Structure 1
Amino acid sequence: MPIRALDRRRLLHALGLGGAALACGRASAAVEGAAGAPITQGYASSRVGQVYYRMIRPAPGQQGLKTPLLCLHAGPGSSRNYLDLMPRMATDRWVIAADTPGYGLSQRPATPSTIADFAQAASAVVDALGLGRIDVLGNHTSTATALELARMRPGLVRRIVLNSALMYTPQERAERKAAQIANATRDLSAAVDTIPARWRAFRQATAHQSEEQSWGRFWEVYRDPTHQDWGFVASYDYDFAATLAQTRAPVLILNPQDVLHDITARAAGKGPDVRIAELPWPGGTFDLHVDAVTQVIRAFLDT
């Protein structure tokens, strides 16, 4: 599917909006979620720069509110990936979705970050909002961030939901890191030349979404193509298995039938309270199958 002139205009418009939001330092306008729920936006300061977040906060005075949920996205990508999940989870709790530093509308650090840096940035968002206790949801690369946040601040994190688990062996982590670095594109012109092929592949993988939805999420992934591998490299440097084994908070691991299924299955019995939920679909967990996965997440968090 070629990139049409209209698509290019949308790209320029989106990049312009992103630049304006970063320049403002703090955003307060409301945008619409998948079910029409108002989503407010903001920034928090962290040691690696400004961290952007989206949030739905229940009406003041609402009774019976449950523990707030912090959602961390896969990388590359952004909090936009949770626009379908957020309003469904926010009927009885705060839901916050933050952009990892270097992705989405968060500031890109001058040098590559570690998982500890990402966890500190997530912690800064929580503190900026004055939240004393949270549940956290991680997805692929950010599953490491979720565990690290719980390790750094065990009194903050009550329960953890992970979409897949990075249960690589040390050798696998080293091999994947080397391959990621070797295949990275550092020349912007060369990276731009790959966009048509990347869009065709992305659109095929997200055929269940409207073209408009796919287009918006595609540019969240390829917003900064010469640095998009930083999150992957950080996750390969992180000893996920060792941290999981020491995590005291209850952990639910979602295991869809995707490329990480067999790796994720290794997490069975590897922590004090680790549960694995086998999911029958290969993808679309937080959009195509959002109603089903919302029920699974609620059943775990609300007990």
Structure 2
Amino acid sequence: MNTPEWLDIIVRSGILVFALFLLTKWLGKKQLSQLSFFEYVTGITIGSIAAEVSVGLDKDFIHGLYSMLIWAAIPIFAGILSIKSKKARDFIEGQETVVIQDGKIHEENLTKQKYTVEELMHLLRKKNAFQVSDVEFAVLEANGELSVLLKKEKQPVTPEDLNLEVAPVKVPQTVILEGKIMDAGLAGCGLTREWLDAELEKQGISLDNVYVGQVDAYGQFTADLYDDQIQLPQPQEKALLFSALKKSQSDLESFALSTDHKDAKEMYRKHSKKLAELVQKTEKYLIH
């Protein structure tokens, strides 16, 4: 008995979807993000072949798979050739092009890459550069991305520019995910389940109502709930720490004024001054 045509199409399509998945995995993650010319053409062609073979019941199914395999092998070979030869890499993947230098647009380079000024301005805005004269250097990469270096005076001020020492920032750890405690996240920030239970109790929320719970670099716990109508109290640990530092500094000043002992007075004043400097440096991190 002959197989119904609709069933043949379903079987062919199922096999080809799986084959496309395997071929895409073989081509690598780059096929999904930054496509070269070869990979772009290959992706379109393999998809077209798969569509034709899945419904072309009068054609040889195996021949279609062979064709897909050959097309998948082309970018693999091109990638190997690119690694071996700089000239081949430049031809296959393209080269970066300078489009702005010292605040001046290189019109000829922009034209060669078939970009308009409007498209360039769009790419600049995506990099938070709204004025061409603010740009020291802009390069159109081979994958179409625009890399922008702002002029020194237009770059954001960093703690290094102000000679400020800042503590290294730790990656926030997820400690609750979909109502379940993540022990690996707790261990990553040196905390225990008992501490987490206390935080949940302090904020008045139940574990099963927490969609995502995280601990930041300062050890503060924040939660995103399933029930968004519940208003959670904002973390106050940093504000309390700042208040404690200011109180300690004020106490040292009071001790210096109240004692008649010369050495003690000097010690209190010395440490009060150091603590005042610490308060000034940490205010923007603990309050703002």
TM-score strictly above 0.5? no
TM-score by length of 2: 0.16
TM-score by length of 1: 0.16
Q: Report which of the two has the higher share of strand.
A: 1
Q: Which has the higher contact order (CA 8 A, sep 6+)?
A: 1
Q: Report which of the two has the higher share of helix.
A: 2
